[in-house]
Amino acid sequence: MADEQIFNIPLRSEFQKVPTWNKAKKAVKATRQFLIRHVKVENVLLGKYLHEELMRHGRQNPPHHVKVRVWKDGEKVKADLIDAPREEKKVEGVKGKKLDEKITEVAKPKTEDHDKAEAKEKKEVLEHQKVEHKEKHPLEEGKLEDKKVMEKKRHKNMPSHSQKPTHEKKK
């Protein structure tokens, strides 16, 4: 395969074979099958912008043709719209150090002092959360009596089992 190829993929003949609610899903599958057949690689990844283009008008109305740019990335083949921006990986090194040294610094195990500091900070956060929770709890602020008074009023207004409700009483 060349470094990069461009295909115009016909989708109409494929998604006409399925019900209307399933057309966009079939268009995605047809795109992948077309690329597998023409690029002769089994592992094909469809890009974000290509997928958005296929779903732009909803599941029931995919486009009839899609122009796609295809390129090889290691063992995988990636495909995206022609106009889609390409994302490239950038590796930045630390000034004065090699990339390997940077990786080894990150992979060092934590020291005991670091663990103690984390545990102390965690305790402080949990205590702070408990204090806030206690301030907001209504039962500990003396509102228990108010709740009991409200229950008594509610029970006063309720009819007993022998009485009929007010909407069934005859006047």
Q: How does residue 97 score in pLDDT terms, banded at 50, 70 and 90?
A: low
The CA distances from residue 66 to 20, 61, 84, in Å, are 19, 13, 12
**What residue type is 142 in one-letter code?**
G
Q: What is the pLDDT of residue 106?
A: 43
Please tell me the predicted confidence (pLDDT) of residue 108.
43
Residue 116: per-residue pLDDT = 82
Residues 73, 88: Cα–Cα separation, whole Å: 11
Q: In the block, which residue shows the tokens 């390129």?
A: 71
Region 78-107: mean pLDDT is 65
Give me the residue spans of the domains in the chain.
4-81, 112-157
**Looking at residue 151, what is its pLDDT?**
80
CATH superfamily membership of 4-81: Ribosomal protein L31 (3.10.440.10)
pTM: 0.51
**For the chain, how many helices (H) and strands (E)?**
6, 4
What's the pLDDT tens digit per position in 46-58? 999 999 999 999 9
Give the pLDDT confidence score for residue 88 in this predicted structure.
Answer: 64
Task: Report whether 68 contacts 80 (CB < 8 A).
Answer: yes
Band of residue 122 on the pLDDT scale cut at 50, 70, 90: confident
Q: Residue with structure tokens 């204090």?
A: 131
Residue 105 has pLDDT above 50, yes or no: no
Between residues 64 and 151, the one the model is more confident about: 64
Q: Please report which confidence band the pLDDT of residue 126 belongs to, taking 50, 70 and 90 as the band edges.
A: confident
